[in-house]
Structure 1
Amino acid sequence: MTRPSNLLCSAYIGLFLWLLYCAVQSARHGAWWATVVFVVGTCLAMVAFLREDQLDDLLRREAVRAEREARPVLTPDETADGVVAVALAGECCDRWWTSAGADHDPTCRRQTPESSAA
């Protein structure tokens, strides 16, 4: 949820609890007309909370959908070209490429010196 949405939901929960408290106090003191008004207000606060939560979910889903639509759709050939380009970018020498990474050319800068330590 976004910050304004969190603030609104918190305010709706606070309003719900306050109106519920007022409804209980009105019922205890015999003011039935006020109790009905507070119960209706409590229901409206709950509907507002649920509506805000639903609106936030809809906005998030729409943002994800718009982001997905903005991405370019690659054909299989373009995808394969990208994979090959990444693999070739990691190539350091011809011997490394043909030996599947087992050996390097003597002039290759990625060649590790062979150690005589056992």
Structure 2
Amino acid sequence: MSRPLHVAYGALLPWLGYCAIQTGRTGNWWATATFAAASALTVIAALREGQLEDALRREAVRDEREARLGRPPLDTAECAASVALAAACCERWWTSAGADHDSACSRQHRSDAA
């Protein structure tokens, strides 16, 4: 999909440059600036399209590698929940948003025990 876009950007860039030069010769400076800005945006769009293509290729390779290893893909929400649950040490800590600990909690800090 990105090849036709790169071809279109490649054809559009010289045309916008030509238009900028021709309007600059007539003294129409606002149109010259507009064509020059459009040329710059065309270059940015072509670079961004290349970055997107690279990112999609990396994701496809990662998905293929995970499928070959037989692991299910990681879900970001599941990872965040498992990290939060692993950090919980006791019921009171969990319900008090980390402010208090149970008296039998193994992770109770010395400053909390006093």
TM-score bucket (shorter structure) = 0.5 to 0.7
Alignment pair present for 1:12 and 2:6? no
For 2:52 and 2:14, how far apart are their aligned partners in 1?
Answer: 22
For 1:54 and 1:18, how far apart are their aligned partners in 2?
Answer: 24
Which position in structure 2 is the counterpart of 1:91?
A: none
Unaligned runs of 5+ in 1: 74-118
TM superposition outliers: structure 1 runs of 4+ over 6 Å? none
- 1:72 deviation in Å? 2.4
Where is the helix percentage greater, Structure 1 or Structure 2? 2
Which position in structure 1 is the counterpart of 2:112?
A: none
- 1:69 deviation in Å? 0.9
TM-score, normalised on structure 1?
0.56
- 1:32 deviation in Å? 0.8
For 2:55 and 2:22, how far apart are their aligned partners in 1?
Answer: 38
Which position in structure 1 is the counterpart of 2:106?
A: none
- 1:30 deviation in Å? 1.2
For 1:27 and 1:11, how far apart are their aligned partners in 2?
Answer: 24
Aligned residue-pair number: 70
Q: Residues 1-118 of structure 1: matches in 2 within 5 Å?
A: 4-72=1-69
The structure with the larger Rg is 1
Query: Alignment partner of 2:56: what SS?
Result: helix
For 2:69 and 2:41, how far apart are their aligned partners in 1?
Answer: 44
Unaligned runs of 5+ in 2: 71-114
TM-score, normalised on structure 2?
0.58
RMSD: 1.2
Percent of paired sites with the same residue? 54
For 2:51 and 2:6, how far apart are their aligned partners in 1?
Answer: 11
